C-alpha cells in the first residue's frame, strides 16, 4: 500500500506547499505592508527576518501536517489500510 500511496502523498504535499505559501503571504500582509524579507537578501533586517521565518515555518508545518493526515485518513477509509506508521496505542 505504501507504493500506491507514494504518488498521492507527493502530489498532495506539493499542493499543500502551494496552499501554505498563499496562507503565509496573506498572514504576512496583515503583519507588514512590505514583502516578507528573504534570507538571501543582504540587507534583510533580523528584526523582520526572524519573525517571518518563524511564521512561515509554522504555517508550512501546520498546513502540510493537516493535509497529509487528512489524505492518509481518506486513503485508509477507501482501502482499509493506513499508509504509514501505526500510532503508539496500536502497537
Spatial CA neighbour of 69 closest among 56, 54, 85: 85
Smallest Cα–Cα separation from 2: which of 15, 10, 42? 10
Q: Would residue 86 be called left, alpha or beta, if left means φ above 0 and alpha means ψ between -120 and 50 degrees?
A: beta
For residue 1, the model assigns a pLDDT of 73
Count of domains observed in the chain:
1
Q: Is residue 86 part of a domain?
A: no
87 domain residue, yes or no: no
Q: What does the pLDDT read at residue 76? A: 94
Q: Give a yes or no: residue 85 inside a domain.
A: no
Which set of grid coordinates corresponds to residue 78?
A: 477507501
In the block, residue with C-alpha cell 508550512: 60
In terms of residue numbers, what domain contains 59? 2-20+30-80
pLDDT tens, per residue, the chain with 91 residues: 788 999 999 999 999 999 999 999 999 999 899 999 999 999 999 999 999 999 999 999 999 999 999 999 999 999 999 998 876 556 5
What is the reported pLDDT for 91?
A: 52
Q: Does the residue 53 lie in any domain?
A: yes
Amino acid at each position: 500500500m505504501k507504493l500506491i500511496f507514494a504518488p498521492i502523498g507527493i502530489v498532495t504535499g506539493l499542493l499543500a506547499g502551494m496552499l501554505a505559501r498563499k496562507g503565509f503571504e496573506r498572514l504576512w500582509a496583515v503583519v507588514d505592508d512590505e514583502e516578507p524579507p528573504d534570507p538571501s537578501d543582504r540587507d534583510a533586517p533580523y528584526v523582520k527576518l526572524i519573525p517571518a521565518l518563524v511564521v512561515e515555518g509554522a504555517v508550512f508545518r501546520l498546513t502540510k501536517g493537516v493535509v497529509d493526515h487528512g489524505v492518509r485518513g481518506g486513503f485508509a477509509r477507501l482501502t482499509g489500510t493506513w499508509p504509514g506508521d501505526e500510532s503508539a496505542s496500536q502497537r
